[in-house]
Amino acid sequence: MSSQDVLKNASTLASYNVLLQVMFRVLTFFLNAFTLRFVSKELIGVVNVRLTLLYSTLVFLSREAFRRACLSGVSGKNHSWRQVINLLWLTLPLGALWAALLICVWLWLLEVPDPQTIPHYGPAVVLFALSGVQELLAEPLWVLAQAHMFVRLKVVAESLAMIAKCSITVVMVMFAREWGLYIFSAAQLVYTGFLVLCYAVYFISFLGSKEAEEKGFPLHSVKDLLPRRAKGEPLVDWSLAQLTWSFFKQSFLKQILTEGERYVMTFLNVLSFGDQGVYDIVNNLGSMVARFIFLPIEESFYIFFAKVLERGRDVKSQKQEDVSIAAEVLECLLKLVLVVGLIISVFGYAYSHLALDLYGGSLLSSGAGPTLLRFYSGYVLLLAVNGVTECFVFAAMSQREVDKYNLVMLALSLSFLFLSYMLTWWAGSVGFILANCLNMGLRILHSVFYIHRYFLSSQWKPLQGLLPSPLLLLALAVSAVVTALSEGVFCCDSGWLLRLVHISVGAACLLGVLVAVLLTETRLIQFIRTQLLPKYRKKHT
């Protein structure tokens, strides 16, 4: 497969993932708005912070390292899918071990919520852990689908699973509210069960079919999906296993950085369950765009960079055509996330109060919610840039460099936990966002230095994507001033008519910013049209 073909497939995957995440966030957005009217913020805090942290910790530590290592390993020519699948099945016993350990911690070491306010906490912990182990059953199938760019499979599977989860939650919240945490535990089990079922049904029907033979799919029957030893080769590829171990050490630290504020809230009790619920709602609102645009781009183009670039080799010793494509894509991606991040930061400041008031009423807009969302809007910009820079760096690093970076991640993790505790003690829940900003800034600096050194001896300068045009900066600055003044005059306790005026002012300013982008960022617009818009790309290929 040529570099151009890999780019097209990665772009298609990113496009479908963005659409998928948009649907997820919209459904979750309305689901949270609905449940806010029926359940307490304390219950939301336990579900969205503590129990979700249990689930995300279990699945991340069980599979993240295997995903990164195996997707990098299969990008080369010398790999055995038999050994890769055997390695991936190790995620299941590893997940069971993590489940047993985390259940003990969540039940016996952490503060147990009041059973009168939040009933059925113990069974909910067990069921959330069980849902994580259940999802790991589909891990070999997920890696196969990603490596062979089965983009529609992921979209259909996760869409059906999310719809089922939302349906169960809505019905049970309306008619069985007294079940408490059982509602959300059942919905989580349904979600992971649907994921496994969809992947299993697809591969059972796909393997051995004419389509599989035409595509040259490496597996031929359902038995090939199960772990077994092949004649004449080891059970697993030990070089791939070593790379997995390197990523595992890194993933443990990355999980602390990713979910650090939840760990601090859970283990140090710096916020009440109610305050945790409000923080989580604001955090989900603030990260919506980051999750349904930036994360899919990061996941999809990590696969692109891993397939195009040879890990651990410098620019001069690689195919120059591949390096050229990688540099061009990296520059355009940096420009894309920078522009989107700047727009979110500028308009997020003036419209945070209105957004929270419309979403959750005075429960969210009367307290620290608007301040939290304003700070988070600035954090999104750092989150966006870091996602793209790290997806390139992790695809290009050698195993030795990955191991070395683990020490950097360890220092960042420790400093983040310390900063989170100190800044939260000083500034309340805003301290979590400030600590995230400081750590994300340091991670960006590390990645920028690596990218600069990587391309230093070549003609390509992808970091120029981090330089916005003067006209765009001017449009953003004017928009920031105008929308801030508009909020002070028209929003947010003056009736619907003045609120609509405030929204109209923002729409006009956003239009001006988009015009500036169209006039000055022509290369970015061309990249979006040809690589990130599936319908347009099909007409031009």
DSSP conformation letters of 231-274: TTS-SS-HHHHHHHHHHHHHHHHHHHHHSHHHHHHHHH--S-HH
Mean pLDDT of the chain: 83
Q: Give counts: helices (H), strands (E), the chain.
A: 24, 0
Determine which of 297-311, 450-464, 496-510 has the lowest per-residue pLDDT on average: 297-311
- CA–CA separation, 357 and 490 (whole Å): 14
pLDDT value of position 535? 43
In the numeric block, the tokens 């001017």 are attached to 474
pLDDT value of position 20? 62
Q: pTM here?
A: 0.69
pLDDT value of position 242? 85
Determine which of 29-38, 250-259, 307-316, 530-539 has the lowest per-residue pLDDT on average: 530-539
Binning pLDDT at 50, 70 and 90, where does residue 456 land?
Answer: confident
Of 125, 132, 135, the C-alpha closest to 194 is 135
pLDDT digits (tens, 9 = 90+) for 63-92: 988 888 888 766 555 667 888 888 899 999
pLDDT digits (tens, 9 = 90+) for 500-520: 888 999 999 999 999 999 999
- CA–CA separation, 225 and 46 (whole Å): 37
Backbone angles phi, psi at 468, to 5 degrees: -70, 160
* SS3 of residue 495 by DSSP: coil
Largest pairwise CA distance in the chain: 77
pLDDT at 50 exceeding the cut of 60: yes
Question: Angle 292-297-301 (CA atoms, 0-180°, nearest 5)?
Answer: 160
Q: Evaluate whether 54 touches 125 at the Cβ level (below 8 Å).
A: yes
pLDDT digits (tens, 9 = 90+) for 342-380: 999 999 888 888 888 877 766 677 777 788 889 988 898
Alpha-carbon distances, residue 224 vs 98, 231, 233 (angstroms): 27, 14, 15
Question: Angle 342-344-266 (CA atoms, 0-180°, nearest 5)?
Answer: 115
pLDDT value of position 476? 94
Domain ranges for the chain, please list them. 39-221+230-248, 259-469
| CA dihedral (330, 313, 148, 248) positive or negative | negative
Of 441, 371, 379, 80, the C-alpha closest to 234 is 80
Residue type (1 letter), 359: Y
* Structure letter (DSSP) for residue 491: -
pLDDT value of position 322? 81
pLDDT at 236 exceeding the cut of 90: no
pLDDT value of position 292? 67
pLDDT at 437 exceeding the cut of 50: yes
Alpha-carbon distances, residue 223 vs 139, 204, 220, 328 (angstroms): 16, 10, 8, 42
Binning pLDDT at 50, 70 and 90, where does residue 537 land?
Answer: very low
Core vs surface per residue 301-313: b (16+ CB within 10 A) or e: bbbbbbbbbbbee
Q: Which residue would you say has higher pLDDT here, 493 or 394?
A: 394
Burial label for 209, CB within 10 Å (0-12, 13-18, 19+), is exposed
